Each structure stands twice: as structure tokens, then as C-alpha cells.
């Protein structure tokens, strides 16, 4: 898999990226997997009476190559719809309960890893065929009687509790959709979304729907097999959040999933993820919250901009195609939107089309508290709103903080005149080391932490100037839109 990273030399912490950024270092090299030797065929079974026998992206087109960033946060790939996206800090469970709380005629669209799913399914069929053959021959050797033992059924044991994984999955699956996005040029892929309200709004990732946002085709398929055309209502590249709406929701099971509080999540809480990994809709996996407040950056479906999040980290199995799906707690409440994965190695896939490997137990979700706020803005105006402090910071900082650049992009001021940071007395060259009680070790960490807040919130910044530590009270400003 490719884990190229993306980042700007000196992007504004409050200005969402709007296009390809200059790489901070050389692109990562790709590697291919060797084909193992084919083992000899097994010997035929003896005659009676004689003498004494995998991969990780949903269908989609190959994405553009990504520049590599150089910050210390590891690179992550979007767990998404068919984009070969990677990011440079990339792709939650409060509540009570028990310990567990898929196209028509015409030219075929360009799809990524189209052969991958076929290869996996064929492998399963081959294994099943071998097993069936052995079972048939073995049965022929013993025709004196059946040795099968049938266990007595216990109907009560099949009455799963509402708080069991099965109970939660049965309630949630009808509200989770598989999203197919196809761009005007035929490129696209598959992702996931879930019902947000009874008006037909579906919450998902921006990178899932970005290819279909301008003149493309978008569909949402429910667990009952019914497919509906949909349209993008709004999308936020910086947050990697999007809201789509069914064009004709008549008869659709619009039962919104309950939203929890990601701020209440603790490490060790049980998690349940639902999505369409490799296009296999309705897949349910479980795990725990393995970390929280993880600074993560991942590129969108076009690899043209980066998104930032202070993510919930989970070991629930998440693969490309899970993007946009719900991460739920042990009570069945949504605590995050699955968005990105850490993948092991480069080029670990089956064939040159594969740019992403499968799950290694490091998945990242956008906290639902943030995603809910962004969704409300998108439904209300179609445009995202970003809090900002009005500075541009370097992206190569490696653990010592976020340093305000001496000069901004294209010769602009790195501290916006009259902006929140300027009013608070910050200057070029200052290194921000804390936002409230959160340690800031890099530019992306600063961005992801600021974007957890709302415009108008008051925060305390700790910064170094000339080797001395200072603090400043800052009232966050705002920026509307991605462009």
C-alpha cells in the first residue's frame, strides 16, 4: 500500500486546504508483492479396499499519487470509497450496557480493485470446493450409519439481548447505507453512510462523495436492497464530512441512528463499526477505543486537500469501504464516523491497482460531537464553518510545538492583522506548545484541536518566545467555506 503523505509548507491553521500542496519531501517509493510458488496438486484419495490433502479497497479507480509529508504523526489512508488517499497524521464509546454495547448498462465505469473482490471470492469458492470433495469421499467410506449428533435447540439462547452486538446490529443495519459515487469521467467507488434525520439526510465522509459532487452520480442502497438516487447537500473538505440527501425518499426506512457524545468516550470502551469494506455491505466488526484525541490528517478522494481531526482510534476492523460508516458504543449510539486507517508497509496489495492494505487494527473516526456541528452547518447553509486563530504555522515541526511562520503563503502575513492571535499579542516565530491543557506538538495537532471548537470559544494558548513561556487568551474567529 502507498502511504504517501500530504501537507503544506505553511498552511493557515484556520484556512482549509484548497488544492495540491507542495511536498515537504520526496514521494514515497512503491513496492510490489512477489507471487509465491504454486504448490504441487494433492494426491488423489485411495480407492476403497486398496492399500493403504486476501485486501482492502472498495471498487474504484486508481487515485493520484500523493506527496509525502514529514511530520512525526504516522501516515494514514482513508478507509473509503475507492480513492487511494493517504494522509499525514492519518483514516469513542460512552453509554451504558454490557461489554459490547453493491450498476446499470452502458460503458462500465472505471473502478478500483475490481479484480480484488473477485479474487477474494474465488479463493473462498475454491476452498469450499476442496472441502466439499473431501467430505463426499469420506462419507463414501462409512456407509454403515450416520455419526452426526444433533444438539438440542435452546430458543431462549437465540433471543439476543438488545445490548448485545447482535441486538445493536439488528437495530442499526436498516439505517446504514452503501454509497456508490461515480464522477462525470466514470471514476468513483463505494463507501458508507447512515441516516441522520427523517428528512432523508445521510451523513458520510467528504472523500466518499467528492468524485460525484460536480456532475456525477450518487446512489444510496439500504440493507433491504432498495436503492435511491441522492445528491450532495454540502461537504467540508477540511473536516472530511459531507451530507447527502435522497432525491426521492418515499418508502425509505428513515430511522436516524441515535447520536452519542464523543466527549464522554474513554479508552477501553467497546466499539461496533458498520460499513461496506471492499463493497461488502452490512459488515459488522467490533473492538475497543484504543486511544482518543489522536491528531490525524488524511487526504480527500482527489488527493487535493487535507482534512484534520482529533480522532477516536479503534481496533475494530475497518477497511476501505467503511469510510462514512458509524462507529458506535456499547449502547448503540454513534460516537464517530469511520474515516481513515493506518496500513502496514507500502504496496502490500494484490496487483498494481491496489494502493491500500487491509486493517491492522488502527482505525480512526471523526468524533461525532464535531461531525454533528459540521452537519448542521451544511444542512443549514451548504457551507462549512471553521474556527480560526488567524496564523499560518509550519508543518515540519517534530514534537516541539507549532511555530508561527515568519512569512505566510505567497508573501502574506503569517499572523492575520486584526485577527484573534494578533489581538492576543502573538508574533511570527512564536511556538505554540499548548491549547488549554492539550499539548501541541505540531502544526496539524494545533489545527485539529482548534477545529474541535466553535467560533467564539475562548481558549488559552501557551507559547514560547525567546526561550520564555507566555500565555494568551484568544477568542476564536471563523472562516466560512472551503474556498
How far CA 286 is from CA of 68, 93, 101, 317, in Å, comes to: 32, 12, 10, 7
Q: What are phi and psi of 126, to 5 degrees?
A: -60, -45
Task: Classify residue 175 by burial, with Cβ atoms within 10 Å: 0-12, 13-18, 19+.
Answer: buried
Q: Which one is catalytic: 24, 240, 329, 369?
A: 240
Asked if 323 is an active-site residue, the reply is yes
- CB-based contacts of 83: which residues, under 8 Å, 6+ apart? 60, 63, 112, 189, 207, 210, 211, 300, 301, 302, 303
| 466, three cell numbers | 525567546
The CA distances from residue 211 to 205, 357, 440, in Å, are 12, 22, 34
Out of 12, 83, 323, 359, pick the active-site residue. Answer: 323
Q: Which three cell numbers stand for residue 17?
A: 486546504
Q: What are residue 192's DSSP bridge partners?
A: 178
Chain-centroid distance, C-alpha 262: 16
Q: Which of 262, 315, 313 is nearest to 95 (CA)?
A: 262
Q: Would you state the cell numbers that stand for residue 479, as one nine-digit string?
A: 472562516
The reply to whether 240 belongs to the active site is yes
Q: Which of 24, 207, 211, 354 is catalytic?
A: 207
For residues 238 and 304, the answer to whether their CB atoms sit within 8 Å is no
Beta bridge partners of 284: 274
| Number of C-beta neighbours around residue 140 at 10 A | 10
Which residues participate in catalysis according to the annotation? Answer: 207, 240, 323
Amino acid at each position: 500500500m502507498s502511504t504517501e503523505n500530504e501537507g503544506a509548507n505553511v498552511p493557515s491553521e484556520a484556512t482549509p486546504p484548497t488544492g495540491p500542496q507542495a511536498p515537504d519531501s520526496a514521494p514515497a517509493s512503491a513496492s510490489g508483492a512477489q507471487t509465491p510458488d504454486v504448490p504441487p496438486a494433492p494426491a488423489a484419495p485411495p480407492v476403497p479396499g486398496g492399500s493403504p490433502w486476501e485486501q482492502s479497497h472498495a471498487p474504484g479507480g486508481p487515485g493520484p499519487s500523493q506527496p509525502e509529508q514529514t511530520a512525526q504523526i504516522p501516515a494514514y489512508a482513508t478507509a473509503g470509497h475507492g480513492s487511494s488517499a493517504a494522509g499525514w497524521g492519518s483514516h469513542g464509546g460512552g453509554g451504558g450496557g454490557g461489554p459490547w454495547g453493491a450498476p446499470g448498462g452502458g460503458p462500465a465505469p472505471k473502478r478500483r480493485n475490481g479484480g480484488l473482490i473477485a479474487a477474494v471470492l474465488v479463493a473462498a469458492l475454491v476452498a469450499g470446493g476442496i472441502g466439499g470433495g473431501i467430505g463426499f469421499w469420506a462419507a463414501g467410506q462409512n456407509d454403515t450409519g450416520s455419526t452426526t449428533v444433533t444438539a438440542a435447540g435452546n430458543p431462549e439462547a437465540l433471543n439476543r439481548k438488545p445490548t448485545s452486538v447482535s441486538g445493536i446490529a439488528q437495530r442499526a443495519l436498516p439505517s446504514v447505507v452503501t454509497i456508490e459515487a461515480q464522477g462525470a469521467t466514470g471514476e468513483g467507488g463505494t463507501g458508507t453512510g447512515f441516516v441522520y434525520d427523517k428528512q432523508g439526510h445521510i451523513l458520510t465522509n467528504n472523500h466518499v462523495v467528492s468524485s460525484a459532487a460536480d456532475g456525477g452520480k450518487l446512489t444510496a442502497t439500504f440493507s433491504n436492497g432498495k436503492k435511491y438516487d441522492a445528491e450532495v447537500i454540502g461537504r467540508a473538505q477540511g473536516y472530511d464530512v459531507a451530507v447527502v440527501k435522497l432525491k426521492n425518499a418515499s418508502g425509505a426506512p428513515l430511522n436516524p441512528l441515535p447520536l452519542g457524545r464523543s466527549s464522554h468516550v474513554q479508552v477501553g470502551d467497546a466499539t461496533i463499526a458498520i460499513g461496506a469494506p471492499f463493497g461488502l455491505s452490512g459488515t459488522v466488526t467490533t473492538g475497543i477505543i484504543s486511544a482518543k484525541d489522536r491528531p490525524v490528517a488524511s487526504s480527500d478522494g482527489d488527493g487535493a486537500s487535507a482534512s484534520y481531526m482529533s480522532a477516536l482510534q479503534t481496533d475494530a476492523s475497518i477497511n476501505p469501504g467503511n469510510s462514512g460508516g458509524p462507529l458506535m458504543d456499547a449502547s448503540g449510539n454513534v460516537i464517530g464516523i469511520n474515516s481513515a486507517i493506518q496500513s502496514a508497509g507500502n504496496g502490500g496489495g494484490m496487483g498494481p491497482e491496489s494502493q491500500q492494505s487491509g486493517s491492522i487494527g488502527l482505525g480512526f473516526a471523526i468524533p461525532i460531537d464535531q461531525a454533528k456541528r459540521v452537519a448542521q452547518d451544511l444542512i443549514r447553509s451548504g457551507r462549512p464553518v471553521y474556527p480560526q486563530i488567524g496564523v499560518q504555522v509550519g508543518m515540519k515541526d517534530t514534537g516541539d510545538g507549532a511555530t508561527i511562520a515568519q512569512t505566510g503563503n505567497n508573501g502574506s502575513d503569517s499572523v492575520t492583522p486584526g485577527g484573534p492571535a494578533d489581538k492576543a499579542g502573538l508574533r511570527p516565530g512564536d511556538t505554540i506548545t499548548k491549547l488549554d491543557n492539550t499539548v501541541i506538538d505540531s502544526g496539524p495537532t494545533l489545527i485539529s484541536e482548534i477545529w474541535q471548537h466553535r467560533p467564539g470559544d475562548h481558549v488559552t494558548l501557551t507559547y514560547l518566545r525567546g526561550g520564555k513561556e507566555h500565555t494568551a487568551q484568544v477568542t476564536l474567529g471563523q472562516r466560512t467555506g472551503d474556498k
